[in-house]
């Protein structure tokens, strides 16, 4: 069991958790993720590690409620626990001194981009942040991003914060102006990352994306997360989740992510109709006896 020490909403449907997982906290590096299973009947889902404190033995996860499991997780509070949590998984971000790094976060992607942006800053890069959201209240981690970015631009679909538009607008301007950009890191919805890739492709600006493919085990044994790239088939859980954006086949990724759309919709509908019975599953798992009571294990 992995106890939840802190839980707070950062925005509607977006919650930040601090979870006790000492081994993961000690090892994790920017760009890596964990797989969690909330309860005995739960599915395994991947979540990026947003932050960690090795001294305290904790990691931070930022979760957007989009389907049954994430919405259920966002009902959990400090004092609850997660049944299974495994990691850190995936390859860490390739953090080096590139020069000027533009970090683009779309929606909850900002939370995924933030740890890498911070590592890039610490590695001596000039970091330009572009944070996009549908509206003001969905803008994530603004103070955190401001603290590590040399420049930060906020973009909202409705113009309720920063400029009105989409995240590729400021990127486009910078490229047109001929601003120096040595690396672009873009994390967000598939179509956003695809748009960024197309924007930087003509000028050959090195562009990295973090792919959100479907996963089961997260350790390379099933290939469910496979991604079609210029260099052949890659598994996002071990070879990624970060890839060269110009090598990725985004249309295939978008299609693969829709494989279980009907089941996902059905599960969400059932959850909406009766969230409490799902919540009871987690709370039940929370109180489970250890499989092998300590006194028995000690009598060996």
Partner 1 sequence: MSANPLPPKQRTKIPRQEMPEQQAAARRRNFDEVNRGLTVLGASTEAMRCLECAKPACVSGCPVGVKIRDFIALITAGDYLGAAAKIREDNVLPAITGRVCPQETQCEGCCILGKTFEPLGIGHLERFVADYEREHGELGLPEIAPPSGRKVAIIGSGPAGLSAAGDLVRWGHAVTVFEALHEIGGVLVYGIPAFRLPKAIVRHEVEALARMGVDFQANVVVGKTVTIDELMDEEGYDAVLVATGAGLPKFLGIPGEHLPGVSSANEFLTRVNLMHANEFPSYDEPVFDCRGRDVAVIGGGNTAMDAVRTACRLGARRSLLIYRRTEAEMPARVEEIRHAKQEGIELLTLANPVAFLSDDEGFLAGVRCLRMELGQPDASGRRSPVPIPGSEFEVPVAMAVVALGTGANPLVQSSTPDLATDPRGYIAADPETLRTSKRGVFAAGDIVTGAATVILAMAAGRRAAAAIGEFLESGAWIDAEAVG
Q: Which residues, numbered 109-138, are part of the site for partner 1 (CB under 8 A)?
A: none
Residue choice 255, 272, 283, 284 for contact with partner 1 (CB under 8 A): 255
CA–CA distances in Å: residue 220 to residues 84, 165, 232: 18, 38, 16
Residue choice 86, 152, 172, 279 for contact with partner 1 (CB under 8 A): 86
Q: Which is nearer to partner 1, 98 or 260 (CB)?
A: 260
Total interface residues for partner 1 by CB under 8 A: 47
Preceding amide of 278 cis, omega within 30: no
Per DSSP, the residues of 258-280 read: TTTHHHHHHHHHHHHH-HHHHHH
Which of 122, 123, 109, 130 is CA-nearest to residue 174? 130
Q: Which is nearer to partner 1, 176 or 273 (CB)?
A: 273
Decide: 156 and 133 in contact? Cβ < 8 Å: yes
* Cα gap 187→79, rounded to integer Å: 31
Q: Find the part of the chain contacting partner 1 (CB under 8 A) among 97-105, 138-146, 199-207, 261-269.
A: 261-269
Q: Which is nearer to partner 1, 216 or 247 (CB)?
A: 216
Q: How far is the CB of 91 from partner 1 (least distance, A)?
A: 10
Q: Which is nearer to partner 1, 138 or 253 (CB)?
A: 253
Burial zone of 293 (CB within 10 Å; 0-12 exposed, 13-18 middle, 19+ buried): exposed
User: Strand locations in the chain, DSSP E?
Assistant: 2-11, 14-20, 33-37, 45-53, 58-64, 81-82, 84-89, 100-106, 126-133, 151-156, 163-164, 183-187, 207-210, 226-229, 232-235, 242-244
Q: What mask of x and - would describe binding to partner 1 in positions 22 to 61, judged by CB under 8 A?
A: -xx--x---------x---xxxx-----------------
Annotated binding-site residues for [2Fe-2S] cluster read: 222, 225, 237
Look-up of token digits 């976060």: 105
Helical (H) or strand (E) element with 148: helix 142-148
Q: Find the part of the chain contacting partner 1 (CB under 8 A) among 20-28, 114-122, 132-140, 158-166.
A: 20-28
Q: Which residues, numbered 190-219, are part of the site for partner 1 (CB under 8 A)?
A: 216-217, 219
226 binds partner 1 (CB under 8 A): yes
Q: How far is the CB of 83 from partner 1 (least distance, A)?
A: 8
71 binds partner 1 (CB under 8 A): no
Residue choice 176, 204, 292, 295 for contact with partner 1 (CB under 8 A): 292
Upper half-sphere CA count for residue 23 (Cβ side, 13 Å): 7
| Strand partners for 52 | 59
Which stretches of the chain bind partner 1, using CB under 8 A?
23-24, 27, 37, 41-44, 68-69, 83-89, 216-217, 219-224, 226, 228, 233, 238, 249, 252, 255-256, 258-260, 262-264, 266-267, 270, 291-292, 296-297, 300
């Amino acid at each position: 069991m992995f106890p939840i020490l802190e839980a707070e909403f950062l925005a509607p449907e977006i919650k930040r958790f601090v979870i006790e997982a000492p081994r993961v906290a000690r090892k994790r590096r920017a760009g890596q993720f964990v797989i969690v299973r909330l309860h005995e009947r739960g599915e395994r889902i991947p979540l990026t590690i947003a932050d960690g404190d090795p001294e305290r033995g904790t990691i931070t996860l930022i979760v957007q409620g989009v389907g049954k499991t994430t919405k259920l997780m966002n009902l959990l509070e400090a004092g609850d626990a997660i049944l299974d949590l495994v990691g850190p998984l995936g390859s860490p971000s390739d953090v080096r001194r590139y020069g000027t790094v533009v970090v683009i976060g779309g929606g909850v992607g900002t939370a995924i981009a933030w740890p890498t942006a911070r590592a890039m800053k610490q590695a001596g890069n000039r970091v330009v942040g572009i944070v996009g959201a549908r509206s003001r209240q969905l803008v994530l981690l603004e103070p955190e991003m401001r603290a590590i970015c040399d420049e930060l631009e906020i973009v909202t679909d409705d113009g309720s914060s920063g400029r009105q538009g989409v995240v590729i607008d400021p990127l486009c301007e910078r490229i047109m102006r001929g601003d120096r950009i040595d690396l672009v890191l873009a994390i967000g919805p598939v179509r956003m990352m695809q748009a960024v890739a197309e924007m930087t492709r003509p000028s050959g600006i090195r562009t990295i994306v973090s792919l959100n493919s479907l996963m089961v085990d997260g350790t390379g044994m099933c290939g469910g997360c496979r991604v079609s790239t210029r260099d052949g088939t890659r598994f996002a859980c071990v070879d990624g989740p970060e890839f060269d954006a110009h090598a990725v086949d985004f249309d295939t990724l978008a299609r693969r992510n829709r494989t279980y759309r009907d089941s996902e919709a059905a599960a969400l509908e059932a959850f909406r109709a009766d969230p409490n019975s799902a919540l009871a599953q987690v709370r039940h798992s929370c109180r489970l006896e250890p499989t092998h009571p300590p006194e028995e294990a000690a009598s060996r």
